[in-house]
Chain A
Amino acid sequence: MAGSPVSVDYSQAMNLSAVPAGDWLVVAPTLITLLGGSLCLMLRKNTDLQPKLGIGFLALLVLANFGLLVRVLDYGVISMVMGSWLPPFGIAFTVDALGATLSLIGSIVALCAGIYGAASVDNTGRRYGFYPFLLLLMTGVCGAFITGDIFNLYVWFEVLLISSYGLLVLGNDRIQLDGAVKYGVLNLIGTNLFLIATGLLYGIFGTLNMADLAQKVAALDNPASGTLATVAALYFLAFAMKAAAFPVNFWLPASYHTPNVVVSAVFAGLLTKVGVYALIRVFVLILPASRGYMADVIALVAIATLLTGALGALAQSELRRLFGYLVIAGIGSMLAGVAVGSTLAVSGAIFYAVHSIIVMTALYLAAGIMNLMSGSYDLRKLGGLYQKSAGFAGVFLVLGFAVSGLPPFSGFWPKVILVDAAFQDGRAWLGAAILVSGFLTTLAMGRVWIYAFWRGGPEGTPDGQSVAAAGTDTGQLSGAAVWLPIGILTALVVYFGLQPEWMLELSTQGATGVVEPLGYLRSVFGGEG
């Protein structure tokens, strides 16, 4: 195009109007993490600088996401199309309340993990790239929450998966490689199914923009037939694998206990929730009719996931495996919301996702602290922690109540909404499964609390005596880096429990935005008010 004399009408293909600087917040989360990640990668030999840079960029990410959420609440859904090309040809980033909320909560959790990592990741781990991987993982996570293009969603999945492989094998233990193979193989299969389904969808509609897809699917005479059924089934399987739903859940407890506990905390908080988010996005926004006739299947999977998770947690005595099963049980609750599919149910699923991101990360970090205090992740060898720190015992009790869905903590409200939505939809079994799963989770968490905190010492300690087990603590417990993250997360758990209005409002707005996507479509294609 250099100096060409022909005048071209660019307005046919490009958006020539000026973009307000505030709209750049749409790309800010991915940009900040990408720049931060690459900077940390270049400076990875400088192990003292790594945590400062990493935490600094993660804090910037939280601020950017907060700004983005505020802007979305002020102006409604915002879109930015890369390179000024008009949609559906340009790749659109489209942020609604759902994406912005999850992106914000996810970045808060990542910041907490970054702070905890300053204490728990040693210099070798830093040199092998803990902070670059964490930042690039967040690029993938935020990108997935923000993008408005389904192939781009696939790309962000790849970005976060590749970073997660790196985090998973950080340290290079035999057991980690074993966990990484299980994790890697199943996730690769899931990603491939995702790609195949996306190819089919492109073959049918000739577009990959989510808003465009939603319009074209809605315009079909018979949106619940033919090839779309295949596409929907493939997507469901792919995202169920990512989310660790029954029966493709086995990779999660097989791999989450192998890496450094802070890595497990990030994974447990974020990765499965991205799968659930994709499920909501694809099934509620793009393929609502397919969701309608798959509702029974999704409900069955949800019930099975709820029960497997809770029963698995009861059967485990390794803390991190136990918490892994609790992640799965939480996924069941969110799937229940997708199965019902009403605005109320989806808002419950979104609120539950927020709660689960926070509480699961907090629980894994708590497991790390328990290991520092008594040198083990095994319930049989834990004990006497109440005497070591009564305050920490209280924090753990709060988290246990929250994950079981007991009031007055953050797990209570989404469960109330989900059960209510299930009964309104006439799916009493689904509601009952959520309640039973919550009850079993209470038992599992009570078991942990009684063994690890109440009992005087490891298994075999006589009643009334206390035997202090030696911890692996080498000074981390006296530092703020261990206590600050779990403090922030527990404060959020309590806050969302006592003051749920804000999050209720956000999740309702997020759910309305995908169930009735008019604002989403208008933000991408413009159009009259």
Chain B
Amino acid sequence: MRTIIFRTIAPYLSALMVLFSIFVLLRGHNEPGGGFIGGLIAASALAIFGVACGVASVRRAIVFHPMGIAGFGLFIGALAGIVSFFKGQPFMTSQWWYLKVFGVEIPLSTPLIFDIGVYLVVVGAIGSIALALEERESD
């Protein structure tokens, strides 16, 4: 698998895939996409990088252990539901904030935070499975 072409291309490919996964994540509220599918794309980016350049370099690149990333995703996903507490609304009621940056309206919301949580959970969980399998292979 570790041909020179693949090894040269893989880092760029992975970077592009991560970028694309974030694009898919952000467009997800009203259009096809979202945290889950974005997370899957990002996890496959990690897997490709791992196949090409070794699992150790992936682990260095993402700094945190994948399970830690998944834990963080779960944490902010749960926090996103609590925001409505302060408005006297039930758990998980969505809250929206419309920011104006240079005349462009940017809608931010708790569903987005929740979606980012889902994204991180999927990246962490699938990524750690993929990395564990690749590690086993290279033993």
Which residues from chain B contact A279 at a C-beta distance below 8 Å?
A: none
- Interface size (B, Cβ < 8 Å)? 26
| Number of A-B residue pairs with CB-CB distance less than 8 Å in the complex they form | 73
CB-based contact B67/A83 at 8 Å: no
Q: Are B90 and A31 in contact (CB under 8 A)?
A: no
Q: Which residue of B lies closest to A27 (CB)?
A: B91
User: Contacts A31-B78, A84-B90 given: A42-B98 contact, CB under 8 Å?
Assistant: no
Contact pick for A35, options B78, B90, B93, B107, CB 8 Å: B78
B113 interface residue per 8 A CB criterion: no
A35 and B75 in contact, given A18-B88, A44-B67 (Cβ under 8 angstroms): yes
Instruction: Give the size of the chain A interface in residues (CB under 8 angstroms).
Output: 31
Give Cα A27–Cα B96 distance, bound, in whole angstroms: 22
> Which residues from chain A contact B73 at a C-beta distance below 8 Å?
38
- Answer whether residue B54 sits at the interface, using C-beta atoms and an 8 A cutoff: no
Q: Which of chain A's residues has its CB closest to B82's CB?
A: A31
Query: With A41-B67, A41-B68, A41-B70 in contact, do A80 and B75 touch (Cβ < 8 Å)?
Result: no
Closest residue on chain B to residue A24 by CB atoms: B85
Indicate if the CB atoms of B90 and A80 lie closer than 8 Å: yes
Instruction: Give the docked Cα–Cα distance between A24 and B85 (Å).
Output: 8
In residues 18-36 of chain B, which contact A (Cβ within 8 Å)? none
Q: A81–B81 Cα gap in the complex (Å)?
A: 12
Shortest distance between the CB of A133 and any CB in chain B (Å)? 12
Task: State the main secondary structure of chain A at its contact with B.
Answer: helix
Q: A2-B96, A35-B79 are in contact. List 19 more A-B contacts (CB 8 A).
A: A2-B105, A3-B105, A18-B88, A18-B89, A19-B88, A27-B81, A27-B91, A31-B81, A31-B82, A38-B71, A38-B72, A39-B71, A41-B68, A45-B65, A84-B84, A84-B90, A84-B93, A93-B91, A129-B67
Residue contacts A-B, CB under 8 angstroms, 28 given: A1-B96, A2-B96, A2-B107, A3-B98, A15-B90, A18-B89, A19-B90, A21-B85, A21-B88, A24-B85, A26-B91, A31-B81, A31-B82, A34-B74, A34-B78, A35-B75, A35-B78, A35-B79, A39-B75, A41-B68, A41-B74, A44-B67, A44-B68, A44-B71, A45-B65, A82-B90, A82-B92, A132-B71
